[in-house]
Structure 1
Amino acid sequence: MTDEQLLDGAIEPQRNRRLFGHREAETYLARSYNSGKGHHAILLEGAAGIGKATLAFRFANHILHFPHAGDAPDHLIEPDHDAPLTRQIIAGASHDLLHLKRPIDQKTGKLRTAITVEEVRRAGHFLSQTSGTGNWRIVIVDSADDLNRSAANAILKILEEPPKNAMFLLISHTPGRLLPTIRSRCLPLRLRPLAPDDLIAALSALGLSVEGQDMERVTALAGGSVAEALKLLNYGGLDIIDAYDQALQSSSAEARLVMHKLADTLSKRENETIFAFLIGHVDGDIKLRARNAALSGDLDLAERLAGLSSRIASDTAEADAYNLDRRQLVLDLLSRLRSTLQPQPHTA
């Protein structure tokens, strides 16, 4: 994980010694590997920021320490940062582990928007080489959602005829968007969002201690995701949500002031993370409102909200692709939502 991907306050998954809330999944992986009947490709599914990548590196570390499955314990070992093999994994210098992720664009110095076919070819070359230690060769795809079409097809070809002693650990936040043929060749392992106690413990392990009402809000809004909790606490996410609610609930004059202030803040280049956070929050809020409207029998509002959700997704993708003005995007988004939520005049 690059610095650009790593949230303030987070620990890179390959460095993270602690994993919370997934003991059942850990036990399953350990026992499956120990039995000698483990699958060559495992799809770790679940919401972003709940520990999927940390579990993948934890499992990879376990396998590489016990290359003979029958010698492995029935529980995943704790990563020992003093162990040479673990130090190699942390440094990205292991000859038996490849972390496949979005590459850096050499021209702009920024992350590319997708994992490219060239990266997958690098994985193919990595797997074709004989391990110098006779160990497993493990590829962590982080995340499989980022594979572009050509890269996805290239991964599929490898999964169809995997080399001996090769294992793929694919991470996916939205597995429904993956090629069905990729999903069919993987063993799915669904990870649930963290329970409030596990989320609080994970934040405490990162040195974040939040008490009282703020912690109640964080656990309610984070959806069991450490990443979302970090955005709420370290990126001003709680204030952003307050401003968003105020923009929807205030009178027109006051709402305009709040909306312009919010748009000015989110349009700054250094606020890219919190901009994406707001877009995600708005999308979730609209879908919740649409569902509630449908359940209450207001099908017209539900339909208008569903259409707005699609429009926002399209406008956001276009703004990202063409580097359009995010300030205007935020203003348009909030204005449309306010208009959509207004009672519609009845026609005779």
Structure 2
Amino acid sequence: MVPLHHRLDCFAALAMTVEHIMLFDDFEEELEDEDFVPDTTAELFENPEPRAQHLLIGHADIEKKLLDLFQGGRHPHAIIFAGPQGIGKATMAFRLARYLLKSAEDEYNNALAGPSMFGDEPAIAKDLNVDSKEQVFSKVASAGHPDLLTIERLYDEKKDRRKTEVSVDEIRRIAPFMRKTPAIDGGWRIVIVDDADTMNRNSQNSILKILEEPPEKSLLILVTHRPGALLPTIFSRSSLINFYPLENQLLIGFLSRVNPRLDRDDKELVISMAEGSLGRAVEYADDKSMDVIKQTSELLKAWPKLDWVKIQFFSETIGKGATPEAQRAFQDYLLWVSSTLLKAKAAGLPIPTALSVFSTIGQEVSLAGWLQICDTLKEHFTRIHTGNLDKRFAVMGAFTIFENNV
């Protein structure tokens, strides 16, 4: 029996509107306009880590809201940044942290210097940006600022990947950190918890204790992809800010600079798969990831006569030589294909142009069959990931699911 939450994921696909299903036919206009993208694009990829990222794409409305909130002195002690993965939540968290730390530093220095002889008032910031040449920026980027603590899932050396949850021991570092005196008088103590939705009940209860009596001028930022995994009592003591997927037009211009070798069809595919996530779009646009996606497409379009010799060879390539990003591209591509064909089948619409190579399987598999494929694929990839199983099995098992669920 497939778990209920997996079935709900697939049933949610049935709510897809005709407007969204016809997404693939709307690219003609958007692909024409790529020149508006700022020249600072290269910086985004030279410094991919959110703590070192100077460039923020989109979310101007959220930045203004945060600026007004803190300049008006109405700041909360805890904020939840919620939204899909890879759209800039962590980048915004570090951007806000830098702004607050720099503002406190400026206030302290201005107080030491005394009133200006010309009576000038300090300039009021128009955004949260802190110049990358500032000392605050470099300290945050190197995880060396004394008033900023970052909590995230630790790396598991044995399994060669990050652990599945933020440990309670890491969360317990927060309370003593916040009680310490800031490096400068009147300064902030800021904690960013990334992947906050992976905290277990004990970890979340520790967070609650902190929120019950937060120290003055302290800020806790919880970055989450699944806000529903947080306790309601954490929500009641925090301000929620929802982040939404980026517009296709914002992503299209970046793809040409990330990988100039992408043709029009490649860009359409990447944008469709990314679903508004800049992080995922950058991953999929990589040459190695695109190669894996195209090979996967070639193998699957042979359905119902899958070539198992080629699939076996492909599984060896994925299992031994592919990068983690390319392995993820294989998984995401099949999940995207299955969910998109399910949506088209459920709405009674033609197969989208971008997936026309799958016309046979799209037409012949029933709605119930697509629901089963969608469910079983998610369950399969989850089992491979959580069990840290051989990636060759990920490939063989995935194609078997398409063969068996007809």
- TM-score interval, smaller chain: 0.7 to 0.9
Q: Residue 290 of structure 1 aligns with which residue?
A: 342
Alignment match of 1:322 (pick from 379, 387, 403): 387
Cα drift, residue 61 of structure 1: 0.8
Q: Residue 32 of structure 2 aligns with which residue?
A: none
Q: Residue 143 of structure 1 aligns with which residue?
A: 195
- Distance in 2 between the 1:285 and 1:216 partners? 14
Q: Residue 36 of structure 1 aligns with which residue?
A: 73
Q: Residue 159 of structure 1 aligns with which residue?
A: 211
Query: Which has the larger Rg?
Result: 2
- Distance in 2 between the 1:106 and 1:255 partners? 37
Q: Residue 64 of structure 2 aligns with which residue?
A: 27
Using CA pairs below 8 Å that are at least 6 residues apart, which structure has the higher relative contact order? 2
SS in 2 for 1:268: helix
Cα drift, residue 144 of structure 1: 1.1
Cα drift, residue 60 of structure 1: 0.9
SS in 2 for 1:236: helix
- Distance in 2 between the 1:35 and 1:285 partners? 47
Q: Residue 313 of structure 1 aligns with which residue?
A: 378
Q: Residue 104 of structure 1 aligns with which residue?
A: 155
SS in 2 for 1:124: helix
2:83 is aligned with 1:46: yes
- Distance in 1 between the 2:402 and 2:159 partners? 34
SS in 2 for 1:331: helix
Deviations 1:141-195 (A, max 9, x none): 1121232333233223323332221111111122233333333332221222222
Letter in 2 for 1:135: G
Q: Residue 242 of structure 1 aligns with which residue?
A: 294
Which runs of structure 2 are paired with 1:190-339 in the superposition (5 Å)?
190-202=242-254, 208-209=259-260, 212-213=263-264, 214-234=266-286, 236-253=288-305, 255-268=307-320, 271-296=323-348, 301-339=366-404
Structure 1 residues 215, 282: closer, same or farther in 2, change over 3 A? Answer: closer
**Conserved in 2, the CA contact under 8 Å of 1:127 and 1:137?**
yes
**Conserved in 2, the CA contact under 8 Å of 1:66 and 1:72?**
no
- Distance in 2 between the 1:319 and 1:14 partners? 30
Letter in 2 for 1:54: T
Structure 1 residues 161, 202: closer, same or farther in 2, change over 3 A? Answer: farther
Q: Residue 122 of structure 1 aligns with which residue?
A: 173
SS in 1 for 2:51: coil
Deviations 1:219-249 (A, max 9, x none): 3332222221222222523232222332322
Cα drift, residue 124 of structure 1: 1.8
SS in 1 for 2:150: strand
SS in 1 for 2:130: coil
Q: Residue 100 of structure 2 aligns with which residue?
A: 63
- Distance in 2 between the 1:75 and 1:103 partners? 36
Structure 1 residues 165, 149: closer, same or farther in 2, change over 3 A? Answer: same
Structure 1 residues 277, 293: closer, same or farther in 2, change over 3 A? Answer: same
Instruction: Tell me the TM-score normalized by structure 2.
Output: 0.72
Letter in 1 for 2:77: H
Letter in 2 for 1:230: V
State the percentage of identical aligned residues: 29
Deviations 1:42-66 (A, max 9, x none): 2112221111111111111111122
**Conserved in 1, the CA contact under 8 Å of 2:47 and 2:53?**
no
RMSD, matched Cα = 3.0
**Conserved in 2, the CA contact under 8 Å of 1:9 and 1:234?**
no
Structure 1 residues 253, 315: closer, same or farther in 2, change over 3 A? Answer: closer
Letter in 1 for 2:141: I
Letter in 2 for 1:159: L
Q: Residue 16 of structure 1 aligns with which residue?
A: 53
Letter in 2 for 1:59: L
**Conserved in 2, the CA contact under 8 Å of 1:248 and 1:338?**
no
Query: Which segment drifts farther, 242-251 or 47-56?
Result: 242-251
Cα drift, residue 16 of structure 1: 1.3
Structure 1 residues 215, 173: closer, same or farther in 2, change over 3 A? Answer: same
2:182 is aligned with 1:131: yes
Ranges in structure 1 where 5+ consecutive residues have no aligned partner: 1-6, 343-348
**Conserved in 1, the CA contact under 8 Å of 2:165 and 2:199?**
yes
Instruction: Tell me the TM-score normalized by structure 1.
Output: 0.83
Query: Which segment drifts farther, 89-98 or 169-178?
Result: 169-178
SS in 2 for 1:267: helix
Letter in 2 for 1:46: G
